[in-house]
Structure formats: structure tokens, C-alpha cells
Amino acid sequence: MRRIFYFLLLLFFSSTVFAQLNQNGKIAIAIHGGAGTIKREDMSPEREAEYRAKLEEALKAGHQVLENGGSSLNAVVAAIQIMEESPLFNAGKGAVFTNEVKNELDAAIMDGKTRNAGTVAGISTVKSPVAAARVVMENSPHVMMIGQGAEQFAEEQGLEMVDPSYFFTDRRYEQLQRIKDTEQQQLEHDGDKDSGDRRPGDQREGMLDEKFPDRKFGTVGAVALDQEGNLAAATSTGGMTNKRYGRVGDVPIIGAGTYADNTTCAVSATGHGEYFIRSVVAYDIAALMKYKGLSLKEAGEEVVKDKLVKMGGGGGVISIDAQGNIAMPFNTAGMYRASISPGGEMYIGIYEDE
């Protein structure tokens, strides 16, 4: 009898301690707004201020959710939706154009606790693609839905639908016109990938040279750790300017552009999707932590600054582990990024040297 009493007492105390731990649980969040040839000398002070302000707004919206005890899933969606609605980023409104002058959007979300995931690709009428990915994850038995089917499902789920013209912006339209003219050059570059590794002299240490001055990857993403210790990752994009033939990038490919697992990390990527798919970037970072015991930082640097550079894949990732460590490696001139650490320290960066 006494034993049972002590056992129950122990049970009571340990559950209180756990509850306490969760209550005092660390929270942290990181977001990105794309990587690429983003240089100080090309940026007007006004435009730079706009980016920093929007990153801060999105970051704080996500962090607020976590502070209020909300889930990491809610936090990443809150942060991303602010960037989807901003024409500054290549996601939602402001997405880049396909060769056929359309906006075809991809998005993904993953829950690190259950490793459930939802993704959508090639959609043009759902206002918030990340919300569409979430309903795929939560309200369907599937992981990925594409095109009209995904749009029909999103509508049935009560998501806000828009006319495709909602996503149009002059800036992206002009970008398409510029890239259309240089298509030949891009095709030549695409030929490079078949040769495998980059040519000697093509790289600075851990960085990719900018063969294409206009190349910016403005995808948005968020990763977060909530008070319960759960990780989540989400990414949303218009893909790449001038894409054709129903091209889909890494974003909605679980393990390539988006991944989350409570036992390792949550990752959201931005960059030249084809390389991120072939390198299974997000999962590779988690796998290096799990099987090789690397830290979040070491794993990210190995994948982004070594493996991807050798292949020729420009871009970067934001990542967070279960302790709230944050790493945001990239191999391009810049990456729009921001984070709030478990200690509450806020960081916002654009260029390589900050």
C-alpha cells in the first residue's frame, strides 16, 4: 500500500515538473525572405528599410504566437502569411512569373512532433499557399496536392480564394521581361549542372560566384520552437522567374526545401531548387545531426557551404534545433533573414557580413 502511495506521489511530482518544464519552455523563431545576389551597393536605403521592417513585422508576429503559448505550426504560418501578403517577396502577392506570364505557387509545412506534412504545388487561386499546405496536412490523408485539385480542396476547406491577377506585380513582370531576353544564357547555365561539380576557380571559399547578377531567390520560410518543445517548418514560393512546363522546385518536396523533426531540427530553404532537390538539403542537415552527431551549425555549413557549393547550387537555409539553437547558413551574396533566440535576442540580416 505504502509503495503504491510513493509511486503515485512520484508520478504526481514528475508530471508537475514536466508541466513546469513545458511552461518555462524555450521559444525561438527564424525566418527568411530569400537568398541570392543581394548586395549593399545595389540596394537603396529606402528599399533596404522596407525589407528590414517587413522581416521584423513577420518575425514578431510569429514570436508573439509562441509567447502566448501557441504552437510552432501557428507561429510559422503567422510569420509566412505576412510575407506572402507583401509584394517584396517571391511568395503569394509578388510571386515571380512563369514563362507563360502566370504566377504558380508552391508551399509546404511540416510538424516536427508527428512528422506529418502537407504541400501544394502549381496553384494560382489560393490567397495563402501556406494555408493550403496546412489543410492538406491536417485535413487530408495526403501529403502533396497539385494544380486545380489542390485549389479545389483548398476552396472546399473554406480558404480564401482570389483571382490569379491578385498575385500580379509590375516589379516581377519587369523581371520576367529581363530574364526572358537572357533565356539563352540561362539554358547554357542549366547545361552546367550535368557536368556535376563546378569548374575550378568558380568558387570562393564556401560561397558561389554570381554568374547571374539578377539571380535572387525570394522565397519565404519560417522555422520555430514552441513552449511544448515542438518544432515546425514552412516555406512558400512563386518558384523561379521564367519557369516552364509545370516546373516545381524544392519547396514542396519534403526533405528538400522543407523538413521538421523534433529529434533533430526544422529547416526551410531558399535557392536554386533543382540543386536543393538533388541534394535533399533539409533532410541531409537533419540526417547529419542524427547519424553523425553534428551540431545544427556544423550540419548546415557542411550542406550549404560545402556540398551545395561543389554542385553549384546557390542559396541558403534557416534552421532551428530542439534546444532553440538557430543557424542560417547561405552561400550567396545575401539572404534576407531574421531570428529571435530563446533569450529574446532579435537579429535581422541581409548581407553576408552582418
Residues that bind ligand ASP in the complex, under the rule CB under 6 A: 34, 90, 217-219, 237, 239-240, 249-251, 257, 270-271, 273
Q: How far is the CB of 72 from ligand ASP (least distance, A)?
A: 22
For residue 60, what is the DSSP state?
A: H
Q: How far is the CB of 275 from ligand ASP (least distance, A)?
A: 9
| Encoded amino acid at 104, one letter | E
Q: Does the annotation count 125 as an active-site position?
A: no
d(CA 208, CA 312): 7
How many other CB atoms are there within 10 angstroms of residue 64's CB atom?
A: 14
Q: Which is nearer to ligand ASP, 212 or 341 (CB)?
A: 212
Q: Which is nearer to ligand ASP, 153 or 276 (CB)?
A: 276
Q: How far is the CB of 115 from ligand ASP (least distance, A)?
A: 22
Grid-cell match 521592417, residue found: 53
Q: How far is the CB of 235 from ligand ASP (least distance, A)?
A: 8
Q: What is each CA distance from 249 to 102, 176, 199, 239, 319, in whole angstroms? A: 16, 17, 24, 6, 19
Q: What is each CA distance from 75 to 28, 47, 111, 230, 289, in whole angstroms? A: 10, 26, 12, 11, 24
| Encoded amino acid at 271, one letter | G
> Residues 231, 325: contact at Cβ < 8 Å?
no
For residue 27, give every residue at least 6 positions away whose Cβ sits within 8 Å of its Cβ, in sequence order, or none: 63, 66, 67, 224, 225, 226, 227, 324, 342
Which residue among 98, 219, 237, 264 is the active-site one? 219
Q: How far is the CB of 293 from ligand ASP (least distance, A)?
A: 29
d(CA 105, CA 102): 10
Q: Which is nearer to ligand ASP, 27 or 311 (CB)?
A: 311
Q: Which is nearer to ligand ASP, 126 or 322 (CB)?
A: 126
d(CA 62, CA 71): 10
Q: Which is nearer to ligand ASP, 131 or 240 (CB)?
A: 240
The residues annotated with a catalytic role in the active site are 219
